[in-house]
A and B are shown apart, each in its own frame.
Chain A
Amino acid sequence: MRAITRRTLLRVAVVVAVVAGAVVLLTRCHGQHGRSLAEIRASGELTWGADIQGGEPYLYEDPADRTRIAGFEVDIMDAIARRLGLRQRFVQMAWSNLVPSLERGDFDVAMNGLEATAERAERIRLSRPYYVYAETLAVRRGSPYRSLADLKGKKVGTLNQTYAHDLLRDAGVELRLYEDNEVPYLDLLNGRLDGVLLDNIIADRYGCDRAGVECLPGDVARGTYVIGIRPSNPDLQQAIDGALAAMTADGELERILRKHGLWDHRQTEPPPPVPAPPEHRSKTFDGDQAKLFGQAALVTLGLSIGGFALAVPLGLLLAIGRVYGGPIGRGAARAYIELFRGTPVLLQLYVLYYALGPYYALGPFQAAVLGLGLNYAAYEAEVYRGALLAIPRGQTEAAKALGFGPGQTLVHVLLPQAFRLALPPMTNDFVALLKDSSVVGAITVIELTKRMQIAGAELRHWLIPGVACAAFYLALSVPLAELARRLERRLSRDQRPHAL
């Protein structure tokens, strides 16, 4: 008795120590890292974070030399570094995570179409502007919408964590978030969106030149691109502001912008003020956030149930084709299984949503359910095939000898027994699907994981959103596993484990 108590205490102590250690590590990491200007000067290298997926003209692989990067931000960074007596080095980072990564110390500054907003200004140091942009609203040619107000309740797309994202949140539209410059305009063309609000640089290059897209005249809003610097680095901000001011004064900035076709009248007009924070934005994990997580959990559940409801019958058909089909049926089922099992589900979702978009524009949720269902059908097919093959031959013979036809044997004798055998792996697959559904954030569906990413970037910490996300996943998967366990127990009375 004493021994058990002591052992239990020891276990509890170990768990507490591990959790406490993790928390200490996390809080220590938070905002305490990164190099000072002196350290940067000593290394001779200024590192900057940006996302190469941002593409032309910001930064992109140089078509003449794929190992190099080009872009107006590369040129500006070159000039700043030169004026500081340094070299610049680019560090790749997903755009929506630029600010958290800067805070963590992954690079010295962040520069990639980073808009000056009141919120960012509270969080990090912002350099003086190097570009004045406008938010451009694009609609389908011939559509009745002429302003953001007309689009209330309609589907409008933009990039995650942008100023346009803030504007749209307050505009009462149905928001769709993208991670890519081009796809929102493709979705506008094929009818998935009614409008796209993006920076004029992106709109001019990726949207307005398309025949079916109309960019509405007049700027929805103006803003400035700035360089993000850690709060602990006032010297670095001063140095960079100095370099930018000198570049404006001696005309180098204008030369760089002209070289990339970016110079316009906005650059000489007085720069717009830093916009006020939007109303619909939470700073802590509050009730609104919890509600959003709850909605996202419902989306995840819907995706999983819908996907599985498709995967089970399709998988069954494939398994029957593979076990009992003729050469053609067997070959077709095998080809399907290898194709869908052998390629990433993310790729399949991209093909379904983006590649097939111009021919048949499925909604994001439909495409996600279809993609997950088609993918999981391949796995289910193998589970059912294994279960069918595990049924003793005598069962088929007994059914035949009683006069059952092939279909009757399958329905009344083999499938009920196969289902009992398949139930444990099916439960496994359903829980796996629940988690795999996190990839559909890539096709603009906001499910749990995407919601966690958005919340993490917004609240500038990841621990609570991460824990909330995990809690919701567990709240979905654990009762499901329990349900399956009960069903299994009811169906498989004769399949108790043998004592070893």
Chain B
Amino acid sequence: MISVRTLCKRHGARRVLERVSAEVGRGETIAIVGPSGGGKSTLLRCLNYLEPFDDGEVEIAGITLRAGRADQDLARLRDLRTRVGMVFQQFNLFPHLSALDNITLAPRVVRKRAPAVAERAARALLDRVGLGDRAGAFPHELSGGQQQRVAIARALAQEPEVLLFDEPTSALDPEMRDEVMGVIRDLARGGMTMLVVTHEMQLATEIASRVWVIDGGTIAEDGPPAEVVAAPRTAVAREYFGRLRRPLPVAP
């Protein structure tokens, strides 16, 4: 479903991604973890071309993106982005639209769905994320967890083959985190192909089929949770998981 080959990305002199290569099969859920600034989000954003890259190639949902083309043409980008959905840390719902209109806007505008068809699909999606009764609510009337669930429904409305999550629970309280995690787990069970940048151990251990540890612009470790989380081989992975588990040092 996804094939990343020697992907390179620089910000000036700084190398953000350094010859990253990876494969993801249909229906897999990848948890992407690692220290801040390691390149996790950048890799994710290269996959739907929100970030252009300097070298290498990405093949995703049947579309091949190559480096060097200053800008991919608009029709291809539109195609790519309807097949690859994205969910953001800050939800980024459209504040001037109700939950329902947030979900139907892209199908109507981008894919030219009839309003009635888009609305029917949107209501089904709202039911699926447990918000069937909040269709008319505006984003500011919803809790963070509810907003993120609407955002997931909005991404799903384009019927994507792949979903990218960029720290979907980092801006949420623990209880709201659980409601969003529940939705992601259900999607994983339903066979959606997903890449999730996250700091949630639960997601890495219980939901993901594979875990990538990214540091210094490369994938330091790549394997099933049982291997990567339980018995990390690299120092960076040991350090990272160690810190997540370690209690705060007690003041003397």
Q: Give the interface of A toward B (CB within 8 A).
A: 392, 394-395, 397-398, 400-406, 408, 412-413, 416-417, 420, 491, 493-494
Contact = CB atoms under 8 A, between A and B. Distances in A.
B96 A491 contact: yes
B92 A398 contact: yes
Contact of B50 (A395, A397, A412): A397
Contact of B90 (A394, A400, A416): A394
B96 A420 contact: yes
Interface string B38-74: 0000000000101000000000000000000000001
Contacts of A402: 81-82, 85, 105-106, 110, 154-155, 158
Interface string B133-160: 0000011100000000001001100100
B92 A394 contact: yes
B78 A403 contact: yes
Given A394-B88, A408-B109, A408-B110, A401 B94 contact: no
B86 interface: yes
Contacts of B88: 394, 397-398, 401
Nearest to A496: B140
Contacts, number: 69
Interface string B76-95: 01111110011010101111
Given A403-B81, A412-B109, 10 more contacts: A392-B90, A394-B88, A398-B93, A400-B50, A401-B88, A402-B105, A402-B155, A403-B80, A405-B78, A493-B138
Nearest to B102: A398
A387 to B, nearest CB: 13
8 contacts: A401-B86, A402-B106, A402-B110, A403-B81, A403-B106, A405-B74, A417-B94, A494-B138
Rank and list the top 8 A-B pairs by shortest CB-CB distance, nearest first: A494-B140, A398-B92, A394-B92, A402-B106, A403-B81, A401-B86, A403-B110, A403-B82
B94 A395 contact: yes
Contacts of A401: 48, 50, 81, 85-86, 88, 155
Given A395-B92, A398-B94, A493 B140 contact: yes
Nearest to B106: A402
Contacts of A416: 96
Nearest to B139: A494
B94 A413 contact: yes
A412 B78 contact: no
Given A394-B90, A398-B94, A404 B106 contact: yes
A412 B104 CA distance: 12
B63 to A, nearest CB: 12
Contacts of B85: 401-402
Contacts of A413: 94, 105
A394 B109 CA distance: 19
Contact of A400 (B81, B96, B151, B154): B81
A412 B139 CA distance: 16
A115 to B, nearest CB: 64
Nearest to A404: B110
A392 B88 CA distance: 13
B106 A417 contact: no
A359 B87 CA distance: 59
A491 B92 CA distance: 19
